[in-house]
Each structure stands twice: as C-alpha cells, then as structure tokens.
Structure 1
Amino acid sequence: MAVVSRSHAPATAAFALRSAALTLVCVVLKTTDLARLAEELDTRIGATPELFDNDPVAIDLSPVREAAEAIDFAALIGLLRQHRMLPIAAKGGSPQQMADALAAGLAEAPEGGLPARAEAAEPATTQAEAPKQPEAPSPAPQQAQQQPPPPQQHQQAVRTLLIDKPLRSGQQVYAKGADVVVLAAVNPGAEVIADGSIHVYAPLRGRAIAGAKGYEQARIFTTCMEAQLVSIAGTYRTTEVPWPADVLGKPASVRLEGDKLIVEPLKA
C-alpha cells in the first residue's frame, strides 16, 4: 500500500495590504487652455528637465472649478507626461470635471488639511476673552490659606525628524506632522518633504518642500543654497530663475509672504 506524504507548511502570501501616507506635488491648473499651458510648461520646466523624473503628481482643479470650457484630460495627461510627470489623481474640480478626470483614469485625491503643529500654533485665548467669574469675598487674615499654583497648560511636543546621512538622487524623506533636520547633503534628484519646516545644515541641491499640507508659516533653511526646487504650502520656485548671487552657494532661508516666496541670505 502506497503512502502519500503531504506537506502542511503554510503557503507564503502573495501580497500584503498596508496603509501608506504619500505626499505628491500638485500641478495647480489655472487655465483650461491647453495650448497656453503647453507653452508655459516648455518655458518654465523645459529649462530644467531634471526637475521631474517620472514623478507622480496630482492635478488641482480648484482654480478652474467654475470654468465653462470642458477639460480634455487625455490631452492634459499626455502633456504632463511629456515633461516627465505622471498624473495619478485630481482634486478640487466641479462634479463634471471630476467625473471626466475619473473617466480618463485619474483617481480622486483627498483634500488635505493643516498639520497638527499648524493648528497648535494658533494663539491661545487671552485672559480678556475668558468669561468673568464673580469675585469671592476675601477671607479673614487668620483664615487665609495659600492656594496651590494653577496647573500649567499642556504644550504639544514639537516633533522633529533627524537625518544624518546624505540623500542620493531618487531618495525621498517625508516628515509627517513634523520638522526635518538634515545634517548631510541633499543631492540633485533627492527630495525632502515636511509638514513643518526644513533645516539643511549642508548643501541643499535637490528639492525641499515645506508646509506640505498647507502650513504657510513653515520655512526652509540651508547653509548652502543650490536647490533645484523650493516650495512652501504649494508655492514653489525652481532654478529657471537663477538664485541671486547673495544666496547662491551661501546660507539662506525661504519663507512665504502672501503668494510669493522670499529667498534671502542668513545673517550671522
């Protein structure tokens, strides 16, 4: 009688499902005229072809949400791909625009809110705004007792991500809900993203994206400004406009003022 031996070893899973938080660069569409868009893409990004390297992007339609003209999403996707961008999602459009975007193969990107540290930066209620309480009668001197000091208000700890190794081309670091401090070079093609501020105590030659979820008070600091791109709360600047001589290769900071990025030297 033959005996058949069967293995009871568990099968290896072919895949796993895990949650992930991804930060994308948004292409904020301000016109439905794709010919005009193509011309401006050639002018602004054509001069810096290394700016994108088949990077995934989302298309923000909020500025053209009320436009009467329909958007040719197939042509728009092709146009962005010509500049080494891979559109994967859209957001902020009208119901019809979003339906057309989904029909073209784009996903609907969730609307991001402000990071927790930005909300914590709001001013606390002042004493004048607090409701007035009736004054209690003063106790007699012999009955007076020392009251314990009021408990100190809890302060949210500031989170900081520390990177002490150089970032090579293609590497990306994302500080979710935090600042990031980099103690080594950020090389061309590397990307540093933070919901808060970015501090690079070395040459910054790649891309730095601060205030990734809309925190407009975020800043970027570096001891050697040579960045391919800097961005704060969605407003960005590339090397299509050369860095001024007083910041190129020198300590510099970047801040957002209105809708304009201010790049200025760091003074000792």
Structure 2
Amino acid sequence: MTSAAQQHVLPGADAFRLRAGNFSILVLRLLDGRPEVVLPALGDQFRRAPGFLRFAPIAIGLDDLNLTPAEIDFPGLIAGLRGLDIVPMGVVGGSPALRQAAAAAGLSALRPSGAEKEIEQAPAPAPAEPPAPRSDFQGSGRTAMIVTQPVRSGSRIYAEGADLIITSTVNPGAEVIADGNIHVYGALRGRAVAGAADNPDARVFALNFDPELIAIAGLYAVREGLTAAPIGRTVMVRLDGESLRFEKL
C-alpha cells in the first residue's frame, strides 16, 4: 500500500535542490537612460578594450536617473546589452515606477542579501560614545583577497568589500576588480578596476604597469589613452578630482 507521504512526492523532486545564495555582481550605473546613448558608449569601450565585461552578469543602477518610465526603453536597453555580450540580471535603486517598468521588461529589483536583517538588528547608537573606528572594507569580514597564481586570459577576479593583492602577473585579457585597492606584485597587462563600490580613494599599484584598461570608481582609461603614463615602470594610480593620475614609485 502506498502511504499518503509517498503519494504527495512530486515526480523528479530528487533531481534538484533550491538554496539561498549570495553572489556579487557589478552595477552599471546609468547616467543617461537612452539606449541610443548608452549602448554606443559601451560599444566604443569594447572596441578599445576587447573582452571588458564580456559575458559579465550586471545589475542596472537607476539611482542617478530622474526620469519617468516612459523615458527609458528598458526592452531596447536589455536587447542592446545582450548584443554586447553583457548579461543584465536586474535593477537596483530608482523610483518604484522605474522598478515596475523594469520588471515589466523582465528585470527584477535586486537588493543586498541580508539588508533587512541588518536594519532590524542594528542597535541604537549611544549618544555619549563615538562609534569605534573600523576599516572601510570590514563589512565582508575580510580586508584583502590574496591571489598567488597568474591571472590567466579570460579570467575575472572580484574582491568584494576588500583589497585585492596579486603576487604574480595579470595577463592580457584577464580582469581584476576590487571594491578597495589593487596591488599587483608583477606585470599588470590585463584590466584593473579598483574602487568598484564607488570608493574614490582606492588606488592601483603595479610593479610593471602595462594595462589594457585601468579604472577607479568608474573613471577609466584604456591602453591607447595612457600616453603620459610610465608604461613598464612601478606605478601608483589614483584619482585627482575627475582625472586619473599615474605616479612612478
């Protein structure tokens, strides 16, 4: 005789499991909501730095847009991003109306994992005592990611909430990203994106500076534009206002 429990087992129920996950993806902050403006700019970036963000999952940031849903062509933007081999996963920020329009086009609203729990459990600050000092990148429970092997072409490494320390070479076609600083104790020949969480104080250090692309907090330069940079030297890159500065060390 078949039990009631057995009768309610779904066919194929042992073929998969659903589990919560916490994954880091980059945010493409839109400063202009028009696909005819955004997509050519991205395409130009791809031509100058082949492979940049290729097949990367991204969230589309809407906080910098003061537009109505009718002013953004979400379907056109999604199709254009996929045509550039970028994978839009959802949207972050923006007004409820913008998020609703994005959802209608197939982009769900994303939020940081555990954000609500942190708000509920956060204790009220004591007015008589200043908060204890802490690292800018303490939230992930670590201060640095260390990579000891060469970063191969086609690889992408992201140090979420941390500095990234690489004791070997970043090869052409590789991409290294950090919310904090990037240290390369070898040749930097691929792409380096520091301050990815909008940290303008982040810096890039390389013993042999020869990148395809360098970026800090969203401001970038590609190899052909680095005519004033000391290529092949030990270099520190930092932001000076809205410009990248390249200093020999």
Per the normalisation by structure 2, the TM-score is 0.73
8 Å Cα contact 2:168-2:185 kept in structure 1 = yes
Q: Is 1:89 paired with 2:90?
A: yes
Range 186-195 or range 94-103, more displaced: 186-195
8 Å Cα contact 2:145-2:162 kept in structure 1 = yes
Q: Is 1:226 paired with 2:226?
A: no
Partner of 2:21: 19
Amino acid at match of 1:185: T
Q: Deviation per CA, 1:107-142, whole angstroms, max 9, x where unpaired?
A: 223269xxxxxxxxxxxxxxxxx99xxxxxxxxxxx
Amino acid at match of 1:22: S
User: Which residue, 225, 229, 236 being the options, matches 2:219?
Assistant: 236
* Structure 1 counterpart SS, 2:57: strand
* Structure 1 counterpart SS, 2:51: helix
The alpha-carbon distance between structure 1 residues 257 and 182, as it changes in their structure 2 partners (threshold 3 A), is same
* Structure 1 counterpart SS, 2:48: coil
Instruction: Find the aligned partners of 1:71 and 1:85 in 2 and give their Cα distance.
Output: 18
* Structure 2 counterpart SS, 1:254: strand
Give 1:45 shift. 3.0
Give 1:52 shift. 3.1
Give 1:215 shift. 2.6
Range 42-51 or range 209-218, more displaced: 42-51
* Structure 2 counterpart SS, 1:177: coil
Q: Deviation per CA, 1:68-125, whole angstroms, max 9, x where unpaired?
A: 742111111111222221111212222221111111111223269xxxxxxxxxxxxx
Matches within 5 A, 1:127-166: 159-166=143-150
Instruction: Find the aligned partners of 2:35 and 2:160 in 1 and give their Cα distance.
Output: 34
Instruction: Find the aligned partners of 1:71 and 1:154 in 2 and give their Cα distance.
Output: 42
Instruction: Find the aligned partners of 1:171 and 1:42 in 2 and give their Cα distance.
Output: 21
User: Which residue, 215, 219, 224 being the options, matches 2:199?
Assistant: 215
Partner of 2:231: 248
8 Å Cα contact 1:197-1:211 kept in structure 2 = yes
Instruction: Find the aligned partners of 2:51 and 2:109 in 1 and give their Cα distance.
Output: 27
Give 1:224 shift. 1.9
Instruction: Find the aligned partners of 1:176 and 1:39 in 2 and give their Cα distance.
Output: 29
* Runs of 5+ unmatched residues, structure 2: 1-12, 114-127
8 Å Cα contact 2:102-2:108 kept in structure 1 = yes
Q: Is 1:264 paired with 2:240?
A: no
Instruction: Find the aligned partners of 2:28 and 2:223 in 1 and give their Cα distance.
Output: 17
Amino acid at match of 2:19: L
The alpha-carbon distance between structure 1 residues 207 and 62, as it changes in their structure 2 partners (threshold 3 A), is same
Instruction: Find the aligned partners of 1:174 and 1:32 in 2 and give their Cα distance.
Output: 27
* Runs of 5+ unmatched residues, structure 1: 1-10, 113-129, 132-152
Instruction: Find the aligned partners of 1:228 and 1:110 in 2 and give their Cα distance.
Output: 32
Partner of 1:140: none
Partner of 1:197: 181
Q: Is 1:76 paired with 2:58?
A: no
Give the paired residue count.
216
Instruction: Find the aligned partners of 1:179 and 1:209 in 2 and give their Cα distance.
Output: 11
Percent identity reads 33
CA RMSD, Structure 1 to Structure 2 (Å): 3.0
Partner of 1:110: 111
Instruction: Find the aligned partners of 1:231 and 1:205 in 2 and give their Cα distance.
Output: 14
Q: Which structure's CA Rg is the greater one? A: 1
Per the normalisation by structure 1, the TM-score is 0.68
